[in-house]
Amino acid sequence: MQLCFFARELQWEQLIVLNFTVMNKTNDLRSLGRTDMMLTPIGLGAWQFSKQKNMAGKFWPTLEDDLIDKVVTLSLEGGINWFDTAEIYGNGASEIALSKALQKAGKKPGDLLIATKWWPMFRFASNISKTIDERIKNLTPYPIDLYQVHQPWGFSNEKQEMMAMAKLIERKLIKHIGVSNFSAEKMKNAWETLDKKGIPLASNQVSYSLLNRKIESNGIMEMAKKLGISIIAYSPLAQGMVTGKFHDNPELMKNIGFRKYSAQFKRKGMEKSRPLTRLVKELALKYESTPSQIALNWLINFHGNTVVAIPGATKETHAKENTRTMSFKLSDEDMAKLDMASAIFK
């Protein structure tokens, strides 16, 4: 397809809109782990729908219902077929907002897939069965396709938590089981516990991006591939740092909340990542795309079908940009260049 302009002459948001409306979608589905749950490589993370209801929710500004509805609708129109939320996201506010938006979009149960998470802090595994009714109520009429243990921080160990999760499958209250932020060892323990009951551990949701490749050096990625567990990448754009927008305009960091205190947003961290962001922007021009699409495209393709990603969206353009990621694929040569440029972040 030929575009009748030079990408250099357009603002990124203009390019997003054009690509969203004219590019052919190639949303090949892939299975989540060794389950029958077939996902698009890109889903939508819904943490930003928290309405500032609790401490976790205050990470994001309050999004009005109309904007949430538009973000969800545009994600669906762009081909995304799954959404990830959690109990801790506004004490269920995100789950409720997501369900309402999907209903307004005219989606019926079975038209899409929902993943949510149980919050384990200061709780025992027995709490999993005690709180599942609230998760179901918040997401009604949509079933829970993937239920995840959000952190390895509970009073019970991962084996006890997996046994509690397995009971929910037996009661047909959830369809599949995942974990989040689990180490390679804890992930293996969870897998072994479920395997004895004939249930696959579908996924491990972890922070993973071109600027955070630690799961490739700490054993998580290797173990996931060995056991057939999918990686769900959250913070796939390193909170926006990988796009280079903060390098180009440091003034943007005045309004980014707690993020500005992390090491990658400090001067030394930004200088370390500058060469990579420069390459990302060069490839964006080459592919008539945007920096975030390049970063996401590498993420979902470099390891074959192992990794799926859940970027968020607080603007309509973000939703369009996310879905456009699935309409092209970086060449092996360009993926290798990104691999080399980001190897220092393993």
Q: Give domain status of residue 103, yes or no.
A: yes
Residue type for 97, please? A
Average pLDDT rounded to a whole number, residues 314-332: 95
Of the two residues 7 and 131, the one the predictor is more confident about is 131
pLDDT digits (tens, 9 = 90+) for 21-41: 333 344 589 999 999 999 999
Averaged pLDDT score across all residues of the chain: 88
**Which H/E stretch holds residue 247?**
helix 245-248
pLDDT digits (tens, 9 = 90+) for 296-317: 999 999 999 999 999 999 899 9
**Where residue 257 falls among pLDDT bands split at 50, 70, 90?**
low
Average pLDDT rounded to a whole number, residues 261-287: 81
Residues 245-251: contacts with CB under 8 Å, at least 24 apart:
245/291, 246/270, 247/273, 247/274, 247/277
Of the two residues 311 and 6, the one the predictor is more confident about is 311
Burial class (CB in 10 A: 0-12, 13-18, 19+), 50: buried
CATH number for position 240: 3.20.20.100
**All residues at 6 or more sequence positions from 106 whose CB lies less than 8 Å from its CB, including other chains:** none
Which residue range(s) make up the domain with 251? Answer: 7-345
Count of structural domains within the chain: 1
End-to-end CA distance of the chain: 36
Q: Give domain status of residue 279, yes or no.
A: yes
DSSP type of residue 314:
S
Q: Give domain status of residue 1, yes or no.
A: no
**Residues 159/193, Cβ–Cβ less than 8 Å:** yes
Of the two residues 93 and 18, the one the predictor is more confident about is 93
What pTM did the predictor assign? Answer: 0.90
Q: Give domain status of residue 21, yes or no.
A: yes
pLDDT at 259: 57
Beta strands in 197-294 (DSSP E): 201-207, 230-234
% of residues, the chain, pLDDT over 70: 82
Distance CA 345, CA 341 (A): 9
pLDDT of residue 178 exceeding 50, the answer is yes
% of residues, the chain, pLDDT over 90: 76
Distance CA 256, CA 262 (A): 11
Q: Give domain status of residue 104, yes or no.
A: yes
Of the two residues 19 and 308, the one the predictor is more confident about is 308
CB atoms within 10 A of CB 225: 14
pLDDT of residue 79 exceeding 80, the answer is yes
Q: Give domain status of residue 124, yes or no.
A: yes
> Can 89 be counted among the known catalytic residues?
yes
pLDDT at 246: 63
Average pLDDT rounded to a whole number, residues 108-137: 98
**Where residue 8 falls among pLDDT bands split at 50, 70, 90?**
very low
Angle between helices 267-286 and 332-342 (to 10 degrees): 170
pLDDT of residue 16 exceeding 50, the answer is no
Average pLDDT rounded to a whole number, residues 17-24: 40
Alpha-carbon 217 to chain mean position: 20
**Residues 319/38, Cβ–Cβ less than 8 Å:** no
Specify the residue for token string 């551990």. Answer: 201
pLDDT of residue 252 exceeding 80, the answer is no
- Name the 3-class secondary structure at 156: coil
Q: Give domain status of residue 76, yes or no.
A: yes
pLDDT at 24: 38
pLDDT of residue 265 exceeding 90, the answer is no
